[in-house]
Amino acid sequence: MSIRNASIEQVPAVSVIGPAQARRAGIAAFVGTTIEWFDFFIYGTASALVLGKLFFPETSPAIGTLAAFATFAVGFIARPLGGIIFGHFGDKFGRKNTVITTLLLMGGATVGVGLLPTYAQIGVLAPILLVLLRIIQGVAMGGEWGGAVLIATEFAPPKKKILYGAFAQQGSPVGNLLATVAFLALTSLSAESFGSWGWRLPFLASAILILIGLYVRLKISEAPEMLKAIQSKTSKRVPLLEILRNHYGVVLLSGGAVVAGVSLTYVKTTFALSWATQDLGYSRAEFLQVITVALVAQVFIQPLGALLASKINVRTAILWMLVPEIVLLPFMFTMISTGNIILAMLGMVLATIPTCMYYATLAGVLAQLFPAHIRYTGISVSYQLATAIFAGTAPFLSQMLLNVSGSIWAVVCLGIGYVVLSLVCMLALLRGKAWTGRDGQAETASP
């Protein structure tokens, strides 16, 4: 279908949704995604710090780290599968049970990693089991994001779709912050204690968080819009087939629009943590502090992106968010290269601002691109394809470029490429639509 004619689905407001229900749905989306992202991010941090040594000990440190990043990428490769599976059931039978299932699946896999014997204990079976658990994490995360976004946006007041979509997006920086703080708290351990048992504690602690998330999500209900789709039988179609037949262009552009919002995080944190501690002389505690400060800034600044996109023309807001990153990303790596922790913090915080504000707007925009009966599948496939192809491979590609070129500027060029791709795709999606921003929704208008 023509991209230009891919209209934003206009769904009438459902008057029976009250403010209390909308707030409860937003909180459920936020709490659930925070826990899921915590589980997902602790693996990334552990892969940068310790997994290469424990599960791939018969390689050089650089190759071991590369292998650990490869298992990190496996989780992302599995995410489109999760998006398809849970998107299908979420579109046919509703969102609630689907997001409860993804939460339990993620929790089980994460605790499993914390209990996993190392290569020294069971040999080659250890990395095989590690990969299998990472695949389960990826499938769960692939189904989680779309459901959480729809819980928030489908209960949102008609004029606040982008703002409520930011509830689900906020789980990413908060989950990342909790994961980083969890490992930062373990820096007082000796290297021997951390390597033998300390690294397991964040994975095992996930069991407590999963119970909290389960309690919150059991209290939500289905949005009337989704119930109406189920009752009208439109939800009985095979969502993926309809997506591929009638909405493939929107899926491709949406996936491209997602790239900068998801990939740069792993360049700035997972890869940068490994690079700074192995090549630049930062201690593990020092650079975790750098990342922590940037994540704290992100937690407070990110929602401003959704607010901005709700107040001004969305296309203008997107330009203001993404273009500065082309300058600030090289600045960040330059500051880290100085070896000065204060300058590294400054560079990391400034480079975090543009893309985190952009990330806040993504959910609310993408959720309006598909009709209700295929919406879960549509946004999940778009988002998870981008994460599989670009985000999951970002630390691996960054490390490979550094190994081959010997220069951090090759990594900088990769990051800028992510930004340019997302900018072009998002502007193409918004072309021909009057995204005024005053109501957070798209209105049909002449190009």
Backbone angles phi, psi at 79, to 5 degrees: -65, -40
CA dihedral 17, 19, 23, 24 (to 10 degrees): -50
Q: For the chain, 447 residues long, give each residue's pLDDT as a single digit of tens.
A: 434 444 333 334 444 566 777 778 888 888 888 888 888 788 878 877 788 788 877 766 777 777 777 777 787 788 889 999 998 888 887 788 888 899 899 889 999 999 999 888 888 888 888 888 988 988 998 888 888 888 888 877 777 888 888 888 898 889 888 988 888 888 888 888 888 899 899 999 989 988 888 888 888 777 766 777 666 655 557 788 888 888 888 999 999 999 999 999 889 988 998 899 989 999 988 998 999 999 999 999 999 999 998 888 889 999 999 999 999 999 999 999 999 999 999 999 999 999 999 999 998 888 888 887 888 899 999 998 898 889 878 988 999 999 999 899 999 999 999 999 999 999 999 884 544 444 445 543 322
pLDDT digits (tens, 9 = 90+) for 276-322: 998 999 998 899 899 999 999 999 999 999 999 888 888 999 999 99
- For residues 220 and 24, the answer to whether their CB atoms sit within 8 Å is yes
The separation between CA 307 and the C-alpha centre of its own chain, rounded to angstroms, equals 20
From CA 116, how far away is CA 364, in angstroms rounded?
38
Query: Given this structure, which CATH class describes domain 19-218+231-444?
Result: mainly alpha
The pTM (predicted TM-score) of the whole model is 0.80
Spatial separation of the C-alpha atoms in residues 167 and 228, rounded to whole Å? 24
Per domain, the residue ranges of the chain are 19-218+231-444
Question: What is the tens place of the pLDDT at every residue in 137-188?
Answer: 889 988 888 888 888 888 777 778 888 888 888 988 898 889 888 888 888 8
User: What is the number of other CB atoms lying within 10 angstroms of the CB of residue 119?
Assistant: 17
d(CA 287, CA 293): 10
CB 334 within 8 A of CB 200: no
Measured over all CA atoms, what is the biggest interatomic distance in the chain, rounded to whole angstroms?
A: 66
**Measured distance CA(269)–CA(267) in Å, rounded:** 6
